[in-house]
Chain A
């Protein structure tokens, strides 16, 4: 059974960098079959896919256009985890952040972390 455990601060100051980590058990961040995603949820923006990292003989990243200039998602194979870094945050980045693994063939999201409420203030 795949489990995702999130960690990171719940409060970030404006203009600083939001950093969260998602530790994986029951699967590998280096899997050739799945991608590892970050999704956030807020009353104003709803559910918003932010980006993903995945390995297909080499590492790839895809990011949402809305955050592309500020985001990086990085795998850590030694710890079997991946991280989100969102720089230059504003109060509009206040949200519940989830990590998630996609389904086979990448059509949806099958496993989710517990969520981390991040407040920018």
Chain B
């Protein structure tokens, strides 16, 4: 079963910009929109970005998403200590009878 590929880790100092990549295929990212989730330790995962680049209400504009072809990116500008978390990309995959697929996850560390 396919999975979206992310780098295992990313880091930056407070105030820096961090970018996380997400690689998929034509059956998922290439033809469907991408969503991003933030997972803080001990908390429920939180929707961060939907439909490639849309922020739900309450999500700071420091977070932005983009998509090109079969890959997507999440950017965190003005990195803050509370941004230290795991980040997952996700998309619907249209192969087989259709299923939802998540990325492998990226741990963001604020140095």
Q: Do A and B originate from a single complex?
A: no
Chain B: residues with CB nearer than 8 A to chain A? none
